[in-house]
Amino acid sequence: MDLSYGAEAETFRKEVRAFLGEVWQPGDRRKGELKEFIRSFRREAIGRGYLYRSVPKRYGGSEQPVDVIKAQVIREEFARARAPMEVGGNGVNMTVPTLLEKGTEEQRELFIQKTIEGDYVWGQGYSEPGSGSDLASVRTKGELSADGTRWIINGQKIWTSQGGSATHMFMLVRTEPDAPKHDGITYLLIDLDQPGVTRRPIRQMTGMEGNDTFYEFFFDNAETPVTLQVGERGQGWYVSRTTLKHERASIGSADGLGRQFSKLVDLAKEMGRIGDPLVRERLTQIEGFVLSHRYTSFRLFSCSAAGEDPGPVQLMMKLLLTEIGHEMALLAQELIGEEGLIEPANAGARGASTQTRGPNKWLDQIMGSLGNSIAGGASNIQRNIIGERGLGLPRDLALENEHGGGKK
């Protein structure tokens, strides 16, 4: 099996590496200076065609032809040099592609450049208390103002990631109460800095709250101009299905799992359990899952590079990633022991962390692994999708919507 990317890709790799060697010199700048430096670094990288490849130049992108191999080489080289890639979050991952596909010229001009430069941060306003998997049952109401120029919004959204820093939200609101469930929803963009919007942090079971963790939002006669409606009125459900189509294939997630696994092995060593035959057996099993996930990622990547449809396996990746992450978390939990869970600081003090933030990083990971099985479409829903779309099984009558694909 040939796992190399070919001569052309390797020439391109040298070019990217030389660029990074020359331009990515963060030195020991202070926080504010570093932010400015990163901004100008990103601009240069855009100028070279390395970032925002699917975004047209007129909106600040580099407008490159789709090339998953080049995109992968760029990701690898930027990771190797620890250089920042594109600004993360919902804005770049969801708002920008949605506007490129379904937005008006005015919306693109207003939002895309500011979003890719990190000035606008977007919250995803989909879930509500009582509307998660059954997303099409959203009840937050949108009504036209008397003069027909504005949408007036009343209701509540919940579990909004990045809710503390969000400047804007893309949201689903019910505008046709009498239409069939999926047809009565409109997709709106809204500025969150207005009197009709209240945000409240939700404290998580890890103890974390604030900034980039969960928020809930209350809308009390909040307003947005009708010109910020994306797609047709009542067709918001279909707009929300718009996802990234280009250059999605990446083996990045598999690399992440590999790194996480090495840290788990380190944890077993730190806890003096690496010689325990039961621990070794579980580590071996997990390593098997990690490697098979990695090779499946390679397969998907090759299919994407060759323009082929990989079939149902693509639908399984999120579920598998979630389950492998959970297996690792369960073993980490056992290695740390009850004491570590009751007094989280202990486990952190032993240097058992895998992440870079949070009071106790293994604990975050253990609890976060539960969240991953819910975020972006719960695992049960994913199983239904695999069964129905992938394997052609009869439809689950209890499931009247398809919540899996586009949610974070």
Ligand X SMILES: Cc1cc2nc3c(=O)[nH]c(=O)nc-3n(C[C@H](O)[C@H](O)[C@H](O)COP(=O)(O)OP(=O)(O)OC[C@H]3O[C@@H](n4cnc5c(N)ncnc54)[C@H](O)[C@@H]3O)c2cc1C
* Catalytic residue numbers, as ranges: 247
- β partners of residue 155: 219
Q: How buried is residue 168: exposed, middle or buried, by Cβ count under 10 Å (0-12/13-18/19+)?
A: buried
Report d(CA 200, CA 137) in Å as an integer.
Answer: 23
* Strand partners for 27: none
- CA dist., res. 310 & res. 68, Å (int): 15
Shortest separation between residue 192's beta carbon and ligand X, angstroms: 13
Query: What residue number has its CB nearest to ligand X?
Result: 132
Task: For residue 166, give the 3-state DSSP assignment.
Answer: coil
Taking the complex as a whole, how short is the minimal distance between the CB of residue 138 and ligand X, in angstroms? 10
133 or 302: CB nearest ligand X:
133
Closer to ligand X by Cβ: residue 360 or 384: 384
Closest to ligand X by CB, 151 vs 159, is 159
Task: Point out which residues pair with 174 in neighbouring strands.
Answer: 141, 185
Q: In angstroms, give the least distance from the CB of 80 to ligand X.
A: 28
Nearest-angstrom CA–CA distance, 332 and 278 = 13
Q: What is the identity of the amino acid at 131?
A: S
Closer to ligand X by CB, 302 or 379: give it. 379
Residues that bind ligand X (CB under 6 A): 124, 126-127, 132-133, 159-161, 371, 374-375, 378, 380-381, 384, 398-399, 403, 407-408
Q: How far apart are CA 123 and CA 212, in angstroms?
A: 10
Query: Minimum distance between the CB of residue 128 and ligand X, rounded to whole angstroms?
Result: 8
Contact indicator for 389, 312 with CB cutoff of 8 Å: yes
Rounded to a whole number of angstroms, the minimum distance from the CB of residue 179 to ligand X is 22
* Nearer of residues 233 and 408 to ligand X, judged by Cβ: 408
| Tally of residues, the chain | 408
Alpha helix stretches (DSSP H) within 243-401: 252-270, 277-305, 313-342, 344-349, 361-372, 379-385
Of 9, 50, 44, the residue nearest 25 (C-alpha) = 44
Residue of 90, 103, 23 whose CA lies nearest to 59? 103
Q: Which is nearer to ligand X, 317 or 399 (CB)?
A: 399
CB of 319 to ligand X, least distance (A): 11
